[in-house]
Structure 1
Amino acid sequence: MDKLLEVKKTVTALMAALSAFLGWMGWLVVLYAVSMGIDYLTGSALAAKNGDWQSQKAREGLWHKAGSILAVIVAALADFLLGLVLKNLPLRLPFTYTVLLCPVVLVWYILTEMGSIVENVGEMGAKVPAFLKNIIAVLHTGVEESGDKLVGKK
């Protein structure tokens, strides 16, 4: 019992530190990590259910997730670079720039993972409300369009 209490205290302390360090964006990071974990578990469960679980495919899934983590890190670095440049150039924006790219990229990945989770549980036999699938798709499209507007597309 003491071991479980120590684990709970450690997890709580880590979440508090992350929240203090990253603020609201820290919660996006937590949601992203949880979504990735659930997607990996549901994908593995579906493959096992279908008798198709293979360690090679599981490793490929992990490499895919590692690549997406690196994309989030690149977005965070780009935000940092943009903030640094804006802070040191003699130009003023009508708002204070803190972050822009990383939250959009995180939300895009979170919605991608959620869509995959819903697809996995549906294929495992769970009845998934159509409106849940639709709202995830609508939100994903909205984030995609917002990202396109940032770079002048559409």
Structure 2
Amino acid sequence: MEKRNLFVSGKAVVAAVCGAFTAAFGWLGWLVVAWAACMALDWVSGSAAAASRGAWSSAAARAGIWHKAGMVVVVLVCALTDAVLAVAVANLPGLGLEVNGVVLPVVLVWYIFTELGSIAENAAAMGAPRARVAGKDFGAGEGRGRKVRYAAAMAGGALPVNGRQLCLPPSGEGGPAGPDEG
């Protein structure tokens, strides 16, 4: 009897699991997995970047988690929108169109790209060299100020940064309205 090669057996298991996942959820399932992985990596890299600057705080970490939870809600709304749209189009007499996932894939790809940009910003904040893309520094941190202001807003208006309190102006005086500002 031959010895079983663990590498070949492991490879077969991984291929079977990936095949079953693809059969069940298709390419959209892999898009959701990629988005979830990007969200997790963004949160971990953001925490690491803040810790490397000595600015990590549980309030900012919680704000990041709430931000991610809001993204999950948006994705669920998009999935529901696609389902309602598919039912509505399928039941319109004489139209003859089939709509399978219009909104959700676009939103997922958009979120993946924004998460990748945020991961690059976090890496740059930790000291990683920046790549030049189209004449601009990729990951230059253009959104970092917005993220810090949003985290401060979630923390009740003040956020400890490098031993000092970062305070926000009262609302109506140019303060952040949330993560979409700017």
TM-score (norm 1): 0.73
Residues 42 and 121, structure 1, Cα contact 8 Å, conserved in 2: yes
Taking the aligned partners of 1:133 and 1:76, their CA distance within structure 2 comes to 37
Amino acid at match of 2:101: V
CA distance in 2, matches of 1:133, 1:33: 30
1:35-74 deviation digits (Å, cap 9, x = unpaired): 0011011100001000111111101100100110110010
CA contact (8 A) 2:43 2:64 kept: yes
Q: Which residue of 2 aligns with 1:109?
A: 111
After TM superposition, the structure 1 = structure 2 runs for residues 15-30 of structure 1, keeping only pairs within 5 Å, are 15-30=18-33
1:44-59 alignment runs, 5 A limit: 44-59=47-62
CA RMSD of aligned residues (A): 2.8
Show structure 1 runs of 4+ deviating over 3 A: 15-18
Decide whether aligned partners of structure 1 residues 131 and 30 sit closer, same or farther in structure 2, where only a CA change above 3 A counts.
same
1:61-92 alpha-carbon deviations (Å, 9 max, x no partner): 00100110110010000000000011111042
| Counterpart pick for 1:82 among 59, 73, 85 | 85
What CA distance in whole angstroms lies between the structure 2 residues aligned with 1:132 and 1:124?
A: 23
Q: 1:132 to 1:30 in 2, by over 3 A?
A: farther
How high is the TM-score relative to the length of structure 2? Answer: 0.63
The letter for the 1-side match of 2:84 is L
Q: Which runs of 5+ in 1 are unaligned?
A: 138-154
Q: Which runs of 5 or more residues in structure 2 are unaligned?
A: 1-8, 140-182
CA distance in 1: counterparts of 2:36 and 2:30, whole angstroms: 10
C-alpha spacing 1:60/1:17, structure 2 compared with 1 (3 Å): farther
Residue 132 of structure 1 and its aligned partner are, at CA, apart by 8.6
Higher helix proportion = 1
CA contact (8 A) 1:43 1:120 kept: yes
In the alignment, which residue of structure 1 is the partner of 2:98?
96
Are the aligned partners of 1:44 and 1:53 in contact in 2 as well (CA < 8 Å)?
Answer: yes
